[in-house]
């Protein structure tokens, strides 16, 4: 058999397997309960027989309770895990989850108030290890039941009904409704940027600057498209301020920005654009290499705003002076959950690497090429970052010989 015929056979076989896969509906039904600060969640399989088990990671905060299941439910590891073995036929698992999630500083990163709710869908359904029969494909959908008087729900997933969404993550066997969500009496502004449907939403009376945010996103979007080869099909930006954590945070195709946080800070950085880098790049690090993802997010939030014409030369020099001052005392960028000073030093390191790549490639390559290479790997360590950088550079990097990486 020729190579061409062999490849054609492989493609046909893969297509045949996909077509003949047993599709099983997986429905999430969520009812929000503002009076208790909880949500009632029901996970339903149209047929539980092909699913041997779902092993849930419930965490150590006691967020989940009142489990009821069709088929055995077995709490494990001091209730930090739970294993569901669905019964054959239509099978459901139901439970309650606390959505008023308070952080150590007293603010919330998830809030269920009498008028609105802002939370990450990750809390609704905890992560799980799926054990299923070969040739099974779960087709997941999310339906939210809102309290009386609440008007709408916004998520980053494709809408297939008034309060119904299709959940499909090609990188996971077990699709769950991750990303930021906002429900209640909310206002939203929408546009299309490139191939992405963009929504900026917030509860009425919470000071969300919808048009300001949409204008900034429109302004920088072409620069993000030029650097990052993949764009999200949908982007949801949500905000509020009441009792919520002061800052910005990205999740699956979505960003939370406290409405009291400026779009561009006085020091020249932009929390919104930094988190937008995370949504586009989706780069993960490991082995005490947090400086890579944190540094790249801050580097591009500055650099792409500058490329778009949003930072003058004088302002850029002042910003550089701030980075040098903040990062001056840093002796190593390695670690987990690094400080702001370490991020500043990481940005300076990446800027120096960009200059080195441009110099030795006669300006034909840059840090952008390295970033695109990083996007093709699942996660990256510092040693792997150096290897990829030197493959782009075509030689050993003098910048990356720095003791900062030790």
Q: If 0-12 CB within 10 Å is exposed, 13-18 middle and 19+ buried, where does residue 270 land?
A: buried
CATH of the domain at 80: 2.60.40.3650
The whole-model pTM stands at 0.92
Nearest Cα to 124, choosing from 240, 18, 30? Answer: 30
189 and 162 in a common domain? no
Q: What is the distance between the alpha carbons of residues 124 and 76, in angstroms, rounded to a whole number? A: 20
405: which 2 tokens? 């990486």
Strands 22-33 and 136-145: parallel
pLDDT of residue 26: 98
The number of distinct structural domains making up the chain is 3
pLDDT of residue 11: 47
SS3 330: coil
Q: Are 296 and 389 in contact (CB under 8 A)?
A: no
pLDDT of residue 5: 55
CA dihedral angle for residue 154, residue 156, residue 158, residue 161, rounded to 10 degrees: -20
Q: Mind listing the pLDDT tens digit for each residue in 359-380?
A: 999 999 999 999 999 999 999 9
pLDDT of residue 6: 53
CATH of the domain at 392: 1.10.390
pLDDT of residue 9: 52
| Domain-embedded: residue 271 | no
pLDDT under 50 in the chain at which residues?
A: 1, 3, 10-18
224 and 158 in a common domain? no
pLDDT of residue 101: 85
pLDDT of residue 105: 81
Among residues 177, 204, 238, the one where a domain terminates is 177
384 and 340 in a common domain? yes
Residues in the chain, how many?
406
| Domain-embedded: residue 258 | yes
pLDDT of residue 13: 46
CB atoms within 10 A of CB 313: 8
208 and 86 in a common domain? no
Q: What is the distance between the alpha carbons of residues 321 and 311, in angstroms, rounded to a whole number? A: 14
Nearest Cα to 405, choosing from 329, 332, 299, 296? Answer: 332
169 and 43 in a common domain? yes
pLDDT of residue 331: 96
């Amino acid at each position: 058999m020729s190579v061409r015929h062999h490849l054609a056979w492989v493609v046909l076989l893969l297509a045949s397997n996909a077509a003949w896969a047993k599709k099983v509906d997986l429905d999430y039904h969520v009812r929000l309960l503002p009076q208790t600060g909880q949500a009632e969640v029901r996970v339903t399989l149209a047929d539980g027989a092909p699913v041997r088990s779902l092993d849930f990671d419930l965490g150590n905060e006691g967020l989940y309770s009142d489990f009821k299941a069709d088929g055995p439910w077995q709490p494990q590891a001091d209730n930090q895990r739970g294993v569901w073995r669905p019964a054959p036929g239509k099978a459901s698992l139901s439970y309650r989850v606390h959505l008023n999630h308070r952080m150590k500083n007293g603010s919330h990163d998830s809030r269920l108030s009498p008028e609105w709710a802002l939370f990450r869908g990750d809390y609704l359904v905890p992560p799980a290890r799926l054990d299923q029969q070969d040739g099974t494909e779960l087709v997941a959908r999310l339906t939210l039941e809102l309290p009386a008087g609440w008007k709408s729900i916004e998520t980053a997933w494709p809408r297939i009904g008034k309060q119904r969404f299709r959940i499909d993550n090609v990188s996971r066997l077990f699709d769950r409704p991750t990303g930021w969500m906002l429900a209640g009496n909310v206002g939203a502004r929408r546009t299309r940027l490139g191939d992405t449907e963009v929504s900026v939403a917030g509860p009425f009376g919470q000071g969300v600057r919808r048009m300001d945010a949409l204008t900034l996103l429109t302004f920088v979007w072409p620069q993000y498209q030029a650097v990052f080869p993949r764009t999200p099909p949908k982007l949801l930006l949500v905000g509020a301020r009441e009792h919520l954590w002061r800052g910005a945070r990205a999740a699956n195709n979505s960003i939370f920005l406290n409405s009291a946080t400026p779009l561009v800070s006085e020091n020249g950085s932009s929390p919104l654009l930094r988190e937008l880098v995370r949504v586009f790049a989706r780069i993960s690090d490991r082995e005490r290499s947090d400086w890579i993802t944190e540094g790249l997010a801050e580097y591009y939030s500055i650099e792409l705003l500058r490329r778009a014409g949003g930072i003058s030369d004088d302002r850029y020099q002042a910003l550089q002076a701030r980075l040098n001052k903040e990062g001056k005392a840093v002796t190593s960028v390695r670690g987990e959950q690094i400080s702001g000073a370490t991020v500043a030093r990481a940005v300076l390191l990446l800027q120096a690497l960009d200059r080195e790549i441009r110099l030795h490639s006669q300006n034909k390559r840059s840090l952008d090429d390295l970033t695109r290479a990083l996007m093709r790997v699942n996660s990256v360590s510092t040693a792997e970052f150096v290897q990829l950088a030197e493959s782009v550079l075509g030689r050993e990097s003098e910048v990356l010989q720095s003791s900062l990486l030790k």
